[in-house]
Amino acid sequence: MSPAPRKPARWQGSEPALRAVQVAFDVEEAVMEAVRVAAFHANVSTSTQIRSVLDLPVAARPKRPRLTVTLDGADYELLAQRYGLAPDDRLGIKEAATRELIAFVQNAKDVKNAQEKNSASSSSKKK
């Protein structure tokens, strides 16, 4: 029997993660919503919230905080057209999408600030 192939040194620290198994819970919509809402209010991922509920260890801070989405070939085609890029320019598409997400946040902040300003001015008029 031949020995197992050696892993590159940079992969050796990832061994525990490679052995981890993702578990999906089939639960009612109310349970999913409660976990998502709790995670939102705690500003953590749903996975971290589930670990907290199950009293499992949780990293103090996420190693790589990020948003994820699954894109297929048709999605890349649509985004490439939207951003005026080639469909195979996946890095360029990712960068353009990142800019759009950042703009989304700024727009949401602007709307919230305008609503708060309008609410404050209408409150002062009622007095």
What are the extents of the domains in the chain? 21-63, 90-127
The vertex-30 CA angle with 51 and 27, nearest 5°, equals: 60
Sole residue written with tokens 């590159």? 8
- The CA distance from 19 to 41, in Å, is 31
Tens of pLDDT, residues 13-43 = 666 667 778 888 899 999 999 999 999 999 8
Global pTM reads 0.56
Number of H helices, E strands in the chain: 6, 0
